[in-house]
Structure 1
């Protein structure tokens, strides 16, 4: 298959690109290398696959309809895997207009291009944040998702609805995958596990928002990649699927796991809960198991150890380069 992969230079996208290439697909990556975190990190991700003939990288914005049309004219896409988005729950509170523009209007630009050029298949990266602070756990796809707590969450839910509209109007096959807190090698540096690992290794205090009782359903990136590829193989109709680890862990216990993997004790700076944060996330993955044969296999304890090992190897490589 020839696949347009948006956001392919990022954390999930670069891991996914490598797996798609190994499976024999042609991958056309579109990423604007924005400054939400250091663009050179994303460029390093791209360089891992840039020499592979079946991989083509284009720097640009999903909101640029002329560029998107050019890509659709140049390549005969079989499907779109749409990961590109402005990320981050807390920052979205400060700049909601940007999040809506990128995440909703960018998605609309892609869907319209698909309609114009006769491409009818998309896997869309949504988020567990659409569930808001639901007291009912685990979260199931039939739960109400109409009370998001952040502009980021609202933008993801709005994009899901756009996807359904184009399924209804043009018979697109679209799966909206609600990812649950992804972690692993190449993870974005501002995410909690990255920040905690770096700070503990350097003997610096970590900022802990709340009393440590908040819980997240952390999902190792290899399991997320598996869920995306399984969705691509089973893509038919319109579906919303939870792609999570189905094994939530409290923030306090997560810190203990990282301490054990690092071999050092964390210094903790306690702060109030942040606007937009939810108390817990927990994926009911029965639908994904039945529909796409999704089976997460990496326990958080093992995944954290893998991440810490990778983080240390990256630090060692950086020291060699200096």
Structure 2
């Protein structure tokens, strides 16, 4: 049995695949290597994977149904972990059609492949963005999520609805994961912590939105990967106690489940920036701006159900995680902090 990881050259996809192979699994990876952000980062992630045994790569798009079916036809796929998606809240304001192709068309293709090739378990990426206009903290999977504030969030909510339909119609066990602000080495260059780091080392100001009055449930990549691996053999079963008159949105009479996967310890944005400055050894020039359209002021994950189901417990502090990221960033981009400090004096 192989595990298919879509979006394998992505941030989470690469780290997850490395861990799966170390655990003894064979991984089949799919990625279209699009240019939403620096393609070289994706190629370098992929290069890390190509050096490992038990890894097979298909350069294709999940929106290409024929290519996807050819992959399933050739490989013995037992579990699918769908991480392929057009990411980014703000980019969805600029290029909404990109989200339809990858997040909707691509996802229904994955569901159809799971249906026709008897996949045992589909795990797929949702997002904390689905909580949208909700203000009750922490966000819980038992909360309704009917008021998204970006198209990206709407497509992720749609993925959960589509997955439930296939769990209901065809009995496919589906597990959705609402990721909360994942960070770490080989991260996404479009994420704030990455662009902050780039601007700080280049002596450019960083844009701090909502005047710094933001909180995020930053979650280190190794903790995220551990949570996913723990779910591999935890295929959802129909919940016989599910109440149709008082339905829990996170479970079902069908083999369907949605979990939050986060750190459960939100951090103030300004504290995060100060920790980044400490490990870089450079003080950031800050430009304070109002909150952007489509953004939310705070994210905070209730992860009780995931902990109860798997024993998942994030263990990486912001200080530890940012140090690992900064160490990687300096090596990857050949940054000399001492030289930068001297220039700034």
Interval containing the TM-score (normalised by the shorter chain)? over 0.9
Q: Hey, what does 2:339 align to over in structure 1?
A: none
Tell me whether 1:280 sits opposite 2:286 in the alignment.
Answer: no
Query: SS at the partner of 1:49?
Result: helix
User: Structure 1, unaligned stretches of length 5 or more?
Assistant: none
Q: Hey, what does 1:156 align to over in structure 2?
A: 156
C-alpha distance after superposition, 1:139-179 (max 9, x if no partner): 00011111010000000000111011111111111110000
The structure 1 residue matched to 2:268, chosen from 243, 250, 260, is: 250
Tell me whether 1:55 sits opposite 2:55 in the alignment.
Answer: yes
> After superposition, where does 1:212-231 map in structure 2 within 5 Å?
212-231=212-231
Structure 2 contact 206–285 (Cα < 8 Å) conserved: yes
C-alpha distance after superposition, 1:263-299 (max 9, x if no partner): 1111011222111000100000100000122111101
Query: SS at the partner of 1:159?
Result: helix
Q: Distance in 1 between matches of 2:76 and 2:303?
A: 33
Structure 1 contact 2–76 (Cα < 8 Å) conserved: yes
Q: Hey, what does 2:133 align to over in structure 1?
A: 133
- Say how many residue pairs are matched: 318
> After superposition, where does 1:50-129 map in structure 2 within 5 Å?
50-129=50-129
User: Structure 1 residues 148 and 227 mapped into 2: Cα distance closer, same or farther (>3 Å)?
Assistant: same
Query: SS at the partner of 2:211?
Result: coil
Q: Distance in 1 between matches of 2:196 and 2:138?
A: 26
Query: SS at the partner of 2:104?
Result: helix
C-alpha distance after superposition, 1:71-110 (max 9, x if no partner): 1110111110000000000010122222122101111001
Q: Hey, what does 1:310 align to over in structure 2?
A: 328
Q: Hey, what does 1:178 align to over in structure 2?
A: 178
For normalisation by structure 1, the TM-score amounts to: 0.96
Structure 2 contact 224–262 (Cα < 8 Å) conserved: yes
Q: Distance in 1 between matches of 2:186 and 2:53?
A: 23
Query: SS at the partner of 1:241?
Result: strand
Q: Distance in 2 between matches of 1:277 and 1:226?
A: 28
Q: Hey, what does 2:14 align to over in structure 1?
A: 14
Structure 1 contact 205–268 (Cα < 8 Å) conserved: yes
Q: Hey, what does 2:210 align to over in structure 1?
A: 210
Structure 1 contact 133–279 (Cα < 8 Å) conserved: no
Q: Distance in 1 between matches of 2:335 and 2:283?
A: 24
For normalisation by structure 2, the TM-score amounts to: 0.90
Structure 1 contact 223–298 (Cα < 8 Å) conserved: yes
The offset of 1:57, in angstroms, is: 0.8
Query: SS at the partner of 1:89?
Result: coil
The offset of 1:311, in angstroms, is: 0.7
- Worse-matched range after superposition: 110-119 or 278-287: 110-119
Q: Distance in 1 between matches of 2:64 and 2:190?
A: 27
C-alpha distance after superposition, 1:88-139 (max 9, x if no partner): 0001012222212210111100111111122131110110000013210000
- Worse-matched range after superposition: 22-31 or 298-307: 298-307
